[in-house]
Amino acid sequence: MKNLVKINSERCKSCGLCVHICPKKILSIGEVVNSKGFYTVEMKDQTQCIACAFCALICPDLVLEVYREEKGE
Ligand code: SF4
Ligand code: SF4
């Protein structure tokens, strides 16, 4: 499996912390609104993700899960 960030949009509160901390600048607040009325975070280019997990660590609402590519796959 390649590096992958799973986004649980229903939990996102549009705070933007992950957008600011991502070193690759591949997260953004999109135009999709969840059931609570928040614009949710989107991944712009999954192939650029280095699986550093900064986004998952800083998110206060446990929206993001980061999976790192295993060597040899
Ligand atoms: S794991 Fe790192 S590079 Fe990937 S989206 Fe999160 S902060 Fe950005
Ligand atoms: S840090 Fe979490 S709650 Fe805030 S915008 Fe990012 S995914 Fe949404």
Whole-number Å distance between alpha carbons of 44 and 53? 16
Q: What pLDDT shows up at residue 34?
A: 98
Per the prediction, the chain carries an average pLDDT of 95
- Best mutation site among 13, 31, 57 for ligand 2 pocket (most ligand atoms within 8 Å of CB): 13
Q: Which residue has the higher pLDDT, 72 or 24?
A: 24
Q: Is 9 helix (H, G, I), strand (E, B) or coil?
A: helix
Residue 46, domain member (yes or no): yes
Q: Give the model's confidence band at 70: pLDDT under 50 very low, under 70 low, under 90 confident, else very high.
A: confident
Residue nearest to atom 4 of ligand 2 (CA): 15
Whole-number Å distance between alpha carbons of 31 and 19? 14
| Structural domain count, the chain | 1
Residue 73, domain member (yes or no): no
Tell me the whole-structure pTM to 2 decimals: 0.94
Residue 25, domain member (yes or no): yes
By residue range, what is the domain housing residue 48?
Answer: 4-67
Whole-number Å distance between alpha carbons of 72 and 63? 29
Residue 52, domain member (yes or no): yes
Is 12's pLDDT higher than 70? yes
Residue 21, domain member (yes or no): yes
The angle at the Cα of 59, spanning 54 to 61, to the nearest 5 degrees, equals: 150
Whole-number Å distance between alpha carbons of 6 and 65? 5
Q: Give the model's confidence band at 73: pLDDT under 50 very low, under 70 low, under 90 confident, else very high.
A: low
Where residue 11 sits, what CATH number does that domain have? 3.30.70.20
Is 72's pLDDT higher than 90? no
CB count in 10 Å sphere of residue 41: 26
